[in-house]
Amino acid sequence: MIEYLQHTFTFNHVWYTVLGSVIGTIIGLIPGLGPAAVVSMMLPFAIGLDPISGIALLSGIYYGSQYGGSTTAILFNIPGESSSIMTVRDGHLMARRGQAGLAIFAAGISSFIGGVSATLLLIFLAPPLSDLAFLLGPAEYTILILLAFIIISVIAARGSIVSGMMMSLLGCLVGMIGVDVSTGVSRFSLGQDFLYDGINFIALSVAMFAVAEIMYNHASHGITRFDNITVKFSNLFQHLRQIFKPAARGSIIGTLLGLLPGGGITISSYTAYAYESRYDKTLGTGSIGGVSSAEAANNASAHSGYIPLLSIGLPENAVMAIMLGAMMIMGVMPGPTLINEQSDVFWGIVVSMLVGNILLLVLNVPMIRIWTSLLKVHKSVLYPIIFALSTLAVYSARNNPADILVLATISVIGYMMVALRLEAVSFIVGFILGPKFETMLTRSLTISGGDVSIFYTGWINIMMLSVITITLTYHIIKNRIINSNNNT
Amino acid sequence: MNNKNIMTGLLYVVLSSYFLIQYILIESVRNFVVPFWIAVVCFTYGIFNIISYRSSEVVNLPLRYVSLPLILFGLAYVLVSYNTALGIVSVAVMSSILFNRPFDLRNFLIMLVTALSVALLYDLLVLKELV
């Protein structure tokens, strides 16, 4: 660990962690601009760096946005991120009572406690999970990817799980455009050179998460203006005791829910807030405990989402799916082999997360006045710049103007998906894992001579198939109960 | 205003047709069984969505938003081939027409200067690399 700590504490790695954290904080502050959009736009820059610096930059943006989101929630009664919804309730009431500084301090400290505790769990839990590497063959990988499709469909499902699974399949199809790795034959490219290597992942993620989201937000909400609010700091340290216990409870809940497929950051903050109401009867009236528990939970959940991503290659949300794609472009293979074969990258990510959390605490609390001044930037300035940066990000990745055409086409598809409330996360997970699913499926059937029993032989496959069955059954029964309640 | 089922179905049908048409036209593609069956499932799901017409839910898909990326990035595609900075700034200016309403000259100028700086900085960095 000490050896890896020394390796990670290079100036470059720390610098990119700082840069990512600053960008993430700014993103979190601005409502309607999620971390997925910015992580996508930063991809061309990140993949040009060494893997640890690149991942540190993208990770910093992700968890930095969790810190920044709370500031907008507290000061302006607007959740910068969906995960800050519970912070709005007590945080803004505190701000209106003149305790904005205290609320931001509580959010910062609690996010720090949540982030660090989840990172420590990653250190202890991921290496044992990596031992699975020796037990997984092509058939096990096939079922594991199928499990990923189903779980992400359940998480993303806004109505029907079938809709989520179909989006995964559509993503698989689009991901299969280009050269087939097994045979070397170019397919579905209509003879176009720019499709020979497949759809550019950066163009796809920028179109789906930056362009489409901005257009949808603008079409449905128009342009929001912010009023300025003064931030006052009072004597903060006497409140540390009040913050610590709710933050600890929130951290445990957030870490566990982030670890479980389907937990999610927003659900974590809801659950932690609801649990906190057992201990704090003043919740909802501007309680410091409400802010602390919700913020600790959402940041802990954001960090523990890395455990399934790094140990079994299972992304839990849109940002994790983009991170998975980015890692693969950088030559890092998230999954059971990461810790054994690319341990420097794994420990580099872990240390950058710890460093990033300390930096974010330093950045967020004393510099709050600077960050809030950024909210004065009007969206009529911000959105065109994002469009311009999106074009630059996509073009600069390969210097191929044809990628801009891909961006245009997928932006239309992405906008339709967002407007139709289809699951873009399932689509992107299908896009990333689809080609691997096909390769593993074909390889398994070649090994077994076409015998499908290879997929339900062995305890790992049986266990994963059981999880799939239980997940699907639970979801179907839950939907039936909800439907019958709605009918009566 | 469009019915959600029909629009979803059309999206699936159009996208999966892209793959199915190539199965009919291009011989080498026929060796790939997995994408074929996925395309068939997606196409069937799309058709099912169109004909089932279950949902009365309507979604708003304004044509100007659907066509906007095609116009914006189409222009950028043409201009970037001549000059990168020109392509990038054109996207910023075109999208500003949509987002800067009512028109605010100060915001427009801030946006223009920022976009120009980013584009010229990129050009400068690329030129430096080439030299």
For the segment A375-398, what is each residue's pLDDT rounded down to a tens digit? 667 778 888 888 888 888 888 777
Classify A196 as helix, strand or coil: coil
Question: Which tens digit of pLDDT belongs to each residue from A29-65?
Answer: 776 667 777 888 888 888 888 888 888 889 888 888 8
Task: Answer yes or no: do B91 and A388 touch at CB < 8 A.
Answer: yes
DSSP A179: E
Please, which pLDDT band fits residue A410 given cuts at 50, 70 and 90? very high
For residue A117 the two structure tokens come to 């505790």
Q: Which residues of A touch B77 (CB under 8 A)?
A: 401-402, 404-405, 408
Report the pLDDT value the prediction gives residue A52, as an integer from 0 to 100: 86
Report the pLDDT value the prediction gives residue A33, as an integer from 0 to 100: 67
How many other CB atoms are found less than 10 A from the CB of residue A236?
16
Nearest residue of chain A to residue B61 (CA atoms): A419
Please, which pLDDT band fits residue B36 given cuts at 50, 70 and 90? very high
* Higher-scoring residue by pLDDT: A331, A160: A331
The whole-angstrom separation of Cα A476 and Cα A482 is: 10
Examine the pLDDT at B15 and tell me if it is beyond 90: yes
Question: Which tens digit of pLDDT belongs to each residue from B63-104?
Answer: 777 888 888 888 888 888 888 888 888 888 888 887 887 788
Range scoring the smallest mean pLDDT among A198-202, A228-232, A262-266: A228-232
How many other CB atoms are found less than 10 A from the CB of residue A126?
22
**B116 — contact with chain A (CB < 8 Å)?**
no
**B86 — contact with chain A (CB < 8 Å)?**
no
**B3 — contact with chain A (CB < 8 Å)?**
no
Side chain identity at B120, as an amino acid letter?
L
Give the mean model confidence (pLDDT) for residues A193-209.
85
* Higher-scoring residue by pLDDT: A368, A159: A368
Report the pLDDT value the prediction gives residue B20, as an integer from 0 to 100: 92
Please, which pLDDT band fits residue B56 given cuts at 50, 70 and 90? low
**A203 — contact with chain B (CB < 8 Å)?**
no
Classify A182 as helix, strand or coil: coil
Report the pLDDT value the prediction gives residue B14, as an integer from 0 to 100: 94
Q: Among A311, A310, A312, A293, which Cα is nearest to A254's?
A: A293
Please, which pLDDT band fits residue B40 given cuts at 50, 70 and 90? very high
**Length of chain A counted residue by residue:** 488
Range scoring the smallest mean pLDDT among A301-305, A463-467, B57-61, B65-69: B57-61
Q: Which residues of A touch B35 (CB under 8 A)?
A: 172-173, 176, 187-188, 438
The whole-angstrom separation of Cα A43 and Cα A32 is: 20
For residue A166 the two structure tokens come to 């179909």
Place of tokens 């077994």: A448
**Rounded mean pLDDT of chain A?**
80
Question: Which tens digit of pLDDT belongs to each residue from A174-200?
Answer: 999 988 877 778 888 888 888 888 888
Place of tokens 């009918």: A487
Q: Among A317, A286, A245, which Cα is nearest to A81's?
A: A317
Task: Answer yes or no: do B77 and A396 touch at CB < 8 A.
Answer: no
Decide: residue A485, CB within 10 A, 0-12 exposed, 13-18 middle, 19+ buried. Answer: exposed
- Cross-chain CB nearest to B32 (options A180, A396, A413): A180
The whole-angstrom separation of Cα B95 and Cα A367 is: 32
Report the pLDDT value the prediction gives residue A224, as an integer from 0 to 100: 43
pTM: 0.77
Report the pLDDT value the prediction gives residue A230, as an integer from 0 to 100: 47
Question: Which tens digit of pLDDT belongs to each residue from A271-288?
Answer: 788 788 778 878 778 888
**A23 — contact with chain B (CB < 8 Å)?**
no
Residues 6+ apart with CB under 8 A from A5: A347, A351
Give the mean model confidence (pLDDT) for residues A163-181.
89
Q: Which residues of A touch B30 (CB under 8 A)?
A: none
Examine the pLDDT at A262 and tell me if it is beyond 60: no
The whole-angstrom separation of Cα A153 and Cα A160 is: 9
Task: Answer yes or no: do B77 and A404 touch at CB < 8 A.
Answer: yes
- Cross-chain CB nearest to A407 (options B73, B108, B110): B73
Task: Answer yes or no: do B19 and A188 touch at CB < 8 A.
Answer: yes
Q: Among A29, A33, A21, which Cα is nearest to A386's?
A: A33
Task: Answer yes or no: do B77 and A422 touch at CB < 8 A.
Answer: no
Give the mean model confidence (pLDDT) for residues A354-379.
74
* Mutation site, B30, B37, B38, B101, interface A, largest A CB count within 10 A: B38
DSSP characters over A359-391: HHHHHHTTTHHHHHHGGGS-HHHHHHHHHHHHH
For chain B, percent of residues with pLDDT exceeding 90:
20
Please work out, in degrees rounded to the nearest 5, the angle formed at the alpha carbon of residue A437 by the alpha carbons of A435 and A443: 105
Task: Answer yes or no: do B66 and A404 touch at CB < 8 A.
Answer: no
R_g (Cα) of chain A, nearest Å: 22
Q: Are A144 and A464 in contact (CB under 8 A)?
A: yes
Give the mean model confidence (pLDDT) for residues A121-146.
78
Torsion angle of the four alpha carbons B108, A418, A409, B23, in this order, in degrees rounded to the nearest 10? 180
**A188 — contact with chain B (CB < 8 Å)?**
yes
Task: Answer yes or no: do B18 and A176 touch at CB < 8 A.
Answer: no
Q: In angstroms, what separates the C-alpha of A245 from chain B's closest C-alpha?
A: 45
Give the mean model confidence (pLDDT) for residues A68-91.
72
b/e burial code for range A22-59 (CB count within 10 A of at least 16 → b): bbbbbbbbbbbbbbbbbbbbbbbbbbebebbbbbbbbb
The whole-angstrom separation of Cα A214 and Cα A316 is: 23
Examine the pLDDT at A229 and tell me if it is beyond 70: no
Residues 6+ apart with CB under 8 A from A21: A60, A61, A63, A64, A67, A356, A359, A360, A363
Examine the pLDDT at A223 and tell me if it is beyond 50: no
Examine the pLDDT at B111 and tell me if it is beyond 80: yes
Classify A83 as helix, strand or coil: helix
Question: Which tens digit of pLDDT belongs to each residue from A319-360?
Answer: 888 888 888 888 888 877 777 777 788 888 888 888 888 888
Side chain identity at A15, as an amino acid letter?
W
* Higher-scoring residue by pLDDT: A343, A463: A463
* Higher-scoring residue by pLDDT: B35, A35: B35
* Higher-scoring residue by pLDDT: B37, A36: B37
The whole-angstrom separation of Cα A278 and Cα A275 is: 6
DSSP characters over A291-318: HHHHHHHHHHHHHHTHHHHHHH----SH
Examine the pLDDT at A225 and tell me if it is beyond 60: no
| Complex ipTM value | 0.89
Give the CB-side neighbour count of residue A200, counting CA atoms within 13 A: 29
Range scoring the smallest mean pLDDT among A152-166, A345-359, B4-18: A152-166
Q: In angstroms, what separates the C-alpha of B130 from chain A's closest C-alpha?
A: 13
Report the pLDDT value the prediction gives residue A226, as an integer from 0 to 100: 40
Query: β-pairing, B2-3 with A186-187?
Result: unpaired
Examine the pLDDT at A298 and tell me if it is beyond 90: no
